[in-house]
Structure 1
Amino acid sequence: MVQDITNSIKLETGGETWTIKNDNPFSGTGGVAIGIEFFDSSYGYIGISGASGNKSKIWLTRDGGESFTEIQLPMEAVDKLPAEGEKYGLSIEDYQYLSMPEYDNKSLTIKVMTNSEEDTGILFESLDKGASWKLKN
């Protein structure tokens, strides 16, 4: 199943009603949902990918989907590519696919890869619920 994401909606009353909360939450960017994860009723992430699977964006909400902010990772901090990327002559510009954030009770991590099928990538970490991100060595 493929889901095209263009609106932000909120499920209310146990599924009896749905309310459009924001009809353009991603600044005109649409795509295929790669994940929707909420850690409480207000704070969550939505991942959107293009059809090629080579590029994705992660969006953060702190108000239950009323508004979203695109996650900006400090790619300029990367001084060494993964060994696989170096082996094939890739550059930092080839790394544009962001995984959904993973939470381990103290931090969030996002892995940046060259496509959705890749296992290795560049890891970033947030210790403040996505307000800031740093390269994780």
Structure 2
Amino acid sequence: MEAVFYNFEKTKDGGTTWTEVNGDPFDQNMGVAEGLLFFTNDFGFAGLTYASEDFSMLYVTKDGGETFERLELPLDTVTELPSESAELGFTIEDYDYHTMPQIVDGKMEIYLQTDAMEQQGIIFQSEDNGVTWEYAGCKE
């Protein structure tokens, strides 16, 4: 994979014409776009990973992509790490790969993993469309 810079464009006519909405949604960070997911016309997420796929960042927009802010999860609230962490010597800082959000049982969930291929991770949930996030346990 090659690291690149991105801009964010949208179309209102099925793709015939495109308008730039944001010339730098990832705030000068280079990488590989992991995904773009909108839950409404205004509220969505963009994911950026490095070529190694062992680190990623999520950016959130609440204005249709005109601005994006890096999502910060409350890591200081984590009380337990996945079972593999003790065996492999992982700390909270090793769980720095953010999955794209998904809706599970009516709640928005993001997993923090050690890399893209990992199955275990730390769960964060939001019940208010991403305004606040809470630690919700581990995915084993």
TM-score, scaled to structure 1: 0.92
Aligned length: 137
1:77 CA drift (Å):
1.2
In structure 1, the residue matched to 2:30 is 30
Partner of 1:14: 14
Letter in 2 for 1:13: D
**Residue 43 (structure 1) shift:** 1.4
Are positions 1:70 and 2:70 aligned together?
yes
Once the two structures are TM-superposed, the CA of residue 76 in structure 1 deviates from its matched residue by: 1.1
Deviations 1:29-85 (A, max 9, x none): 121111111112221111110111111011111111111111110111112211011
Does residue 118 of the first structure (1) align with residue 118 of the second (2)? Answer: yes
Unaligned runs of 5+ in 1: none
Identity of aligned residues (%): 38
In structure 2, stretches of 5+ residues that fail to align are none
Aligned 8 A contact 2:26 2:48 in 1 = no
Q: Report if aligned partners of 1:6, 1:31 keep a CA contact under 8 Å in 2.
A: no
Give the RMSD, CA atoms, in angstroms: 1.7
Q: For 1:9, what is the secondary structure of its paired residue?
A: strand
Matches within 5 A, 1:1-137: 4-104=4-104, 106-137=106-137
Aligned amino acid, residue 56 of structure 1: S
